[in-house]
Amino acid sequence: MTGLPVPELHPACLPVSFLLGTWRGPGVVGYPTIEDRTFVQELTFDHVGKPYLGYRSRAWLTDEDGEPVAHAARESGYWRAVGGGRLEVVFAHPTGIAEIWYGEVTGTRIELATDAVVRTASAKEVTAGKRLYGLVEGDLAYAYDLAAVGQPLQPHTSARLSRVRETS
């Protein structure tokens, strides 16, 4: 549906409003069970006037020149600021994994940790995660630690993304 007016941002979303827009940039991925690689990622945070932000992430593996060569991870979900700097986040992955995260926002810094990870019978084993997001010189930087496939919690991905589109 098009032509709808842009709703006002719900007051509950003010602590995470700095995320609004589309962000894009390079990152690195590594884990004991995979080859270290570079990627480019695009994150979009939007709103519809309700007490949550919508979230979409797309990533592409890149070659040595930073050019995308293959589709990589995707996830989507919702970020809910629930007062007192607390966050509740839900992510779903096309690989059969769904996660519930809890965390806190302090200024332009966000720390999240998984509370629950569920998976389909064919999905890889993921048991926990931690994420740190923050603004660095106007860019959105993040680091993601993962516990999966019998490995303990350890660094998995990180990226520094520049805002490429504003969302009101």
Q: Per-domain residue ranges for the chain?
A: 11-108+115-158
Q: What is the pLDDT of residue 134?
A: 97
Q: What pLDDT score was predicted for residue 87?
A: 97
Write down the pLDDT at residue 6.
76
SS3 36: strand
All residues at 6 or more sequence positions from 58 whose CB lies less than 8 Å from its CB, including other chains: 41, 42, 74
Q: What is the pLDDT of residue 168?
A: 59
**Tell me, what's the pLDDT at 4?**
76
Per-residue model confidence (pLDDT) at position 2: 61
pLDDT tens, residue order, the chain (168 aa): 467 777 899 999 999 999 999 999 999 999 999 999 999 999 999 999 999 999 999 999 999 999 999 999 999 999 999 999 999 999 999 999 999 999 999 999 999 999 999 999 999 999 999 999 999 999 999 999 999 999 999 999 999 999 998 875
Domain boundaries 11-108+115-158, CATH class: mainly beta
DSSP 78-130: EEEE-STTEEEEEEEETTTEEEEEEEEEETTEEEEEEEEEEE-TTSPPEEEEE
pLDDT reported for residue 162: 98
Instruction: Name the CA radius of gyration of the chain, rounded.
Output: 16
Give the pLDDT confidence score for residue 52 in this predicted structure: 97
**pTM, whole model, 2 decimals?**
0.93
